[in-house]
Chains A and B, each alone.
Chain A
Amino acid sequence: MTDLTEQQQKSIEDYLEGRIQGEDLLRVEKWLEENPSGRDYLQFLKKLKDLSPSASLVVPPAHLVDKIMDRVPVSRRQMTAPFPWVKPGLALACMVLALFAGLRWFHSFRTSSLDISFILNAPGARQVELAGDFTGWKKISLKQDERRWKVRIPVSTGKDYQYAFILNGRVLVMDPANDSVVRDKHGDFYSVLRLPGRQTRESIGMKQTAFLKPMGIILTSFLSLCSVSSAFADTVVSPEFQEKFKSEVHEAVLSPGEARKVLEQANRLASKGVPEATLEDVLHQSLVLGKASAAEKALNRLDLLVSQGLASEDAGKVSIKEIREEVKAIEKTQPEDEEMEKSLEKGLANLPAAGTQALTQDQLEKKLELKQREWEEQMEQEKEIRYIQHEASERAP
């Protein structure tokens, strides 16, 4: 039954339906005479056509009409929508509610303030204060909690803030846990707190969880310490040395940048053939002083002595001795109240060298006043800019 092509079948169907005329008609008729299977298909189609008139209607089941009419809600039809405005009204109300909720949510990101904990590890200090843009450069006291000094204050987001700690009322010190530093136009270093606006709390390294939120700065300082370990990526020194170095860095509270610098130097010396034990000694002795600059100096001295032909062990001893003497000399040049000096030394033991300045009371007050004025000027400028922008947007069509 399948010896006809689809095209042939279609032609036969068209022939039967009277859709073929003229020369084509003759050709199809001639083809049909020659092909018995074509004739068979034509017969089949004709039979199908003949069958159809004989198809009679089957009587539907009784009461079908009644069943249909029972289910048609004719009498209730007018009642289906008594209050046509109810649905759109409800939808509108929902939309307005959703809009308000959305705006509130969005607003909470734009203008929210975060509670930030400022923590300084200075067990020897008598008094630790905090001053910054967010306090208008007025001093805020930190509370001592065993070794640490802490304060938690709300800071509104959307700005970068400069700040510094003040030790014993006259030593300006940067936040050792904060890696971002700025040098102002007077050449002084300050830590920078970046709180971008319109962003989630995650973007500044804080989880949105209520439990973690107050841990803000602790978390960031932890993260910055973690980044020290990334500095070990391409080193020559052994893993044991690295481990020891990490703990030294942790105790001396170096910033990641300083740690990296010191390690790079140690690496260079190790590649020159200086034994790790010597390096360890030098670093340990100089880092106990709590100053990255001391370590750097010691390593530089070591480098010089080794290149001058001295045996590396002797060179190590010499450089340690020198660095100790140097530090002592610095301490002697600043003879002040002895008790205060002692406590300061203890407090400073954990602080980075750069950005730590011992000042007199007057100098400090003047500095803070200067910063306060600068901050006020900056705010004034921002206000002006905002006003100009506002005016421009009003003038625009």
Chain B
Amino acid sequence: MDQKPEDIAADLADIQAAQKGDATAFRRLVEKYHSYIYNLCRRVTLNPQDAADQTQETFLSFYAHLKDYQPGLKLSNWLYTIALNQCRKQLRRKKIVRFFSLSHDEKLHEPPASGSSPDQGIRRDQSQALLDKLVVSLPESYRPVFILRYFEDRTEEEMAQILGITIENVRVRIHRARRLLWEKHGSLIKEYL
């Protein structure tokens, strides 16, 4: 993860400016964080178009509730919380649509195609492909915790904060995600070794 340590003071100044209607300050925040949010959304929704949409929704929601931001928190974690909620909403909506539509939307369960998506030009190595595969096989409830742990490298405390659950709950969820992967893809990872 090539994330630099966050400049909490600078972020806070920008948020306060944005609250007073300073568009450039808000734009700075969007530019700084949008790619992280986009990647998170892409991994949760498994769909580049949904990811772009949910990134937009995340920042809109963030803007609408600027005054709710608690200054002590890392802004990225704050945004992750919003993004994960937005993605969950989107997945639920899709589930309903899928339930009522006659044709089963198989594409949803496929990892993003490397050729046609905006991910073009980035060479994805074997391990990246493997990780994507693992994420896809996880149920939606365990996906966020797994992504935060293995892609975003968050501590258990941070995960608990982002997801709004206890640390014990975080541990249980990670354990269940690992257990599922071990049962499903244990041999695959062994081969990779």
Contact = CB atoms under 8 A, between A and B. Distances in A.
Contacts of B9: none
A45 B1 CA distance: 19
Contacts of B31: 65
The DSSP consensus for interface residues of chain B is helix
Interface stretch (B20-28, B70-78, B83-91, B137-145): B20-28
A72 B178 contact: no
Nearest to A49: B150
Contact of B30 (A41, A45, A52, A69): A69
B153 interface: yes
B188 to A, nearest CB: 10
B189 A60 contact: no
Interface in A23-79: 40-41, 43-45, 47-62, 64-65, 67-69, 71-75, 77-78
B130 A10 contact: no
Contact of B56 (A41, A43, A64): A64
Interface string A239-264: 00000000000000000000000000
Contacts of A44: 178, 181-182, 186, 189-190
Contacts of A78: 21
Interface residues of A, number: 39
B23 A68 contact: no
Contacts of B128: 54-56
A9 B179 contact: yes
B23 A72 contact: yes
Given A52-B150, A68-B59, A72-B60, A59 B122 contact: yes
B119 interface: yes
Interface string B47-76: 010011001100110010000000000000
Given A44-B186, A47-B193, A57 B36 contact: yes
7 contacts: A13-B174, A44-B181, A47-B193, A48-B134, A52-B149, A58-B42, A72-B26
Interface of B: 1-2, 18, 21, 23, 26-27, 30-31, 34-36, 38-39, 42, 48, 51-52, 55-56, 59-60, 63, 118-119, 121-122, 124-125, 127-128, 130-131, 134, 149-151, 153, 174-175, 178-179, 181-183, 186-187, 189-190, 192-193
Interface of A: 1-2, 6, 9-10, 13, 40-41, 43-45, 47-62, 64-65, 67-69, 71-75, 77-78
